[in-house]
Chains A and B, each alone.
Chain A
Amino acid sequence: MFQKGTNLTDIITFNSVNKTYPLAKTRALSDYSITIEKGEFFCLVGPSGCGKSTVLKLIAGLETPSSGKIIAPENIGMVFQLGALFPWLTVEENTAFGLKMKGTDKTKIRELTNKYLDLVNLREFHKKYPRDLSGGQRQRVGIARALAIEPEVLLLDEPFSALDFLTTDELHKDLLNIWQETKKTIVMVSHLMEEAVLLADRVGIMRDGKLCKVIQVSLPRPRSYKKEDFVNEVQKIKNIIGE
């Protein structure tokens, strides 16, 4: 039988995870347990330094837990705050990077690269370099690069925090479309409650390395910032963080 708290639809499980960074005085995560289901859009919110990014790093395998157990798939794609694109590679080469490292054959690389550049509407920019692109376009390349390896989970670490409002708005819509089209599990970190409520199925609220509460956002999509129930939902999260 499955362990308690895990079932066929669970894709990521944290079981009493603790994480202390070397030389740090306090724990980045303490007694952290969470379950993320396959195909859901999960968003972690909380103030700076609450351990949100640590959760992503642990899922991605970039960090190892000090204690506790993590179950997460091997094949994971990640989108970084400032893109983290390779400036010496073109849009196409950046997108193909993960596939090339895996040793995928050239025809398959071309096929997947084109597919995901189409998905993020950047096919015509395939020969450009990151410096020739706007901030929003760079993030799109970051998304295409992460999706190209066809990951089981897509992690996003505050991907829109450096972008202006209009670009963010556009990328929110695109990300939701991509999620609905690819049916990927998405785990996103954000410091904006509004962003979390706008995008996620469930919002995990964090404070001081602990998961305070997980809220199910049951508002129908497309959601709008202006609607009263949206504002109420955001307020609910703010209240929990402020407690």
Chain B
Amino acid sequence: MAVRTYHNHYRFSYTTSLRRHFSSLVFVLLAIILILISGINFITPRSTVNFSELSPLIIFEASLNTLLRLSIAYFFSLLFAIPLALFITKNQKIEKILLPISDIVQSVPILAFFPIIVLVFVKINFFNGAAIFILFMAMIWNIVFSLIGGLKTIPQDVKSAAEIFKARGLKKLWFVTLPSVFPSIVTGSFLAWGQGWNISIIAEALHNYIPHGSYSQDLFGLGSLLVNSFAQGKSSVFLASLITMIFIISVLNLFIWQKLLHVSERYKFD
């Protein structure tokens, strides 16, 4: 097997890493299924589980919906996080003012604002907007702070080299700054998606936040499926949704994030 080493520290290749992660995935999935089956059997006796509720197609569609919401929220997070982090670190004076502000803003629990945000979007009849906005707010800070860290650790000599070789303005951004912070973007995005999956469970169950809301106002997705199936005691749907979510997260981890984390090693300064 040809060993592709991406940097000095990783002694194993990407294929080995894939294999390891795949076996861990199978192991984790099996363990979770076993724990859940036993747990649910303990809470709800098997006789009450209605297996006819479970449709793979519905869960698949729900997954796609949630993935789409997360992707849109992530796209906007990245789009806003990069200029914001660049602006915050632009000079020391700006940083002194903006960094504490963003520190406070990011530490305010976003879910506390959720009811208000939901109502605003409900007013304009844009339910998806509420979920995407809340996901966006939850995701962006991971990327912003990771980026600030990355921007501040670009070696001075590398910045000088960019200057000497006339990499200025957009050229500097594209050929020097963004590659320099690529590892931070990957780490921040990885964390952002983790946060996004967490919040998706709450962000799709809108009826909880709408006065006199009903289940029909919820957004169709894996998150609302999880919450509502459990609330209505449809454990099989709950179980299937949960396994699907873990499966999707693991597949994304395996084929996107692990790959990107490996590639990003090539962008790190010694």
Q: Are A86 and B176 in contact (CB under 8 A)?
A: yes
The answer to whether residues A101 and B167 also contact, given A82-B157, A84-B155, A84-B157 and a CB cut-off of 8 A, is yes
Interface CB pairs A-B, < 8 A, 11: A62-B160, A80-B157, A80-B160, A84-B155, A86-B158, A88-B179, A88-B266, A88-B267, A101-B166, A131-B266, A145-B165
Cβ of A149 within 8 Å of any chain B Cβ, yes or no, is yes
Cβ–Cβ < 8 Å partners of B269 in chain A: 87
Cβ of A45 within 8 Å of any chain B Cβ, yes or no, is no
Cβ–Cβ < 8 Å partners of A25 in chain B: none
Q: Which of A57, A61, A98, A131 contacts B165 (CB 8 A)?
A: A98
The answer to whether residues A131 and B160 also contact, given A86-B179, A98-B165 and a CB cut-off of 8 A, is no
A37 nearest CB across to chain B (Å): 22
Q: Are A101 and B175 in contact (CB under 8 A)?
A: yes
Cβ–Cβ < 8 Å partners of A82 in chain B: 155, 157, 270
Q: Are B268 and A87 in contact (CB under 8 A)?
A: yes
Cβ of A81 within 8 Å of any chain B Cβ, yes or no, is yes
Which 3 A-B pairs rank lowest in CB-CB distance, beginning with the nearest? A84-B157, A98-B165, A80-B157
Cβ of B161 within 8 Å of any chain A Cβ, yes or no, is yes
Cβ of B163 within 8 Å of any chain A Cβ, yes or no, is yes
Inter-chain pairs besides A60-B163, A145-B165, 12 sampled, C-beta below 8 Å = A61-B163, A62-B164, A76-B164, A77-B164, A97-B175, A98-B165, A98-B166, A100-B175, A101-B166, A101-B175, A131-B8, A149-B165
| Consensus secondary structure, chain B interface | helix
Between B160, B165, B171, B269, the greatest number of chain A beta carbons within 10 A of the residue's beta carbon is seen for B165
Which B residue's beta carbon lies closest to that of A60? B164
Bound Cα distance from A243 to B165, whole angstroms: 39
B239 nearest CB across to chain A (Å): 44
List residues of chain A with CB under 8 Å of any chain B CB. Answer: 57, 60-62, 76-78, 80-82, 84, 86-88, 97-98, 100-102, 129, 131, 145, 149
Q: Are A97 and B165 in contact (CB under 8 A)?
A: yes
Cβ–Cβ < 8 Å partners of B266 in chain A: 87-88, 129, 131
Cβ–Cβ < 8 Å partners of B8 in chain A: 131
How many contacts between A and B, using CB within 8 angstroms? 58
The answer to whether residues A78 and B164 also contact, given A86-B158, A86-B176 and a CB cut-off of 8 A, is yes
Bound Cα distance from A80 to B165, whole angstroms: 13
Q: Are B182 and A81 in contact (CB under 8 A)?
A: no
The answer to whether residues A101 and B267 also contact, given A62-B160, A84-B157 and a CB cut-off of 8 A, is no
Cβ–Cβ < 8 Å partners of A84 in chain B: 155, 157-158, 160-161
Cβ of B7 within 8 Å of any chain A Cβ, yes or no, is yes
Cβ–Cβ < 8 Å partners of B268 in chain A: 87
Which B residue's beta carbon lies closest to that of A148? B165
Type the 1/0 row for B146-190, where 1 means its CB is closer than 8 Å to any CB of A: 000000000101101101111100010001100100100000000
Q: Which of B155, B163, B175 contacts A62 (CB 8 A)?
A: B163
Cβ–Cβ < 8 Å partners of A76 in chain B: 164
The answer to whether residues A87 and B164 also contact, given A80-B157, A82-B157, A101-B175 and a CB cut-off of 8 A, is no
Q: Are A87 and B163 in contact (CB under 8 A)?
A: no
Cβ–Cβ < 8 Å partners of A80 in chain B: 157, 160-161
Type the 1/0 row for B88-114, where 1 means its CB is closer than 8 Å to any CB of A: 000000000000000000000000000
Cβ–Cβ < 8 Å partners of B158 in chain A: 84, 86
A40 nearest CB across to chain B (Å): 21
Cβ–Cβ < 8 Å partners of B267 in chain A: 87-88
Q: Which of A57, A101, A131 contacts B171 (CB 8 A)?
A: A101
Cβ–Cβ < 8 Å partners of A60 in chain B: 160, 163-164
Q: Are B270 and A87 in contact (CB under 8 A)?
A: yes
Bound Cα distance from A87 to B267, whole angstroms: 6
Bound Cα distance from A160 to B21, whole angstroms: 43
A158 nearest CB across to chain B (Å): 11
B135 nearest CB across to chain A (Å): 30
Bound Cα distance from A177 to B139, whole angstroms: 55
Cβ–Cβ < 8 Å partners of B157 in chain A: 80-82, 84
Cβ–Cβ < 8 Å partners of A88 in chain B: 179, 182, 266-267
Which B residue's beta carbon lies closest to that of A100? B175
Which B residue's beta carbon lies closest to that of A138? B270
Bound Cα distance from A88 to B178, whole angstroms: 11
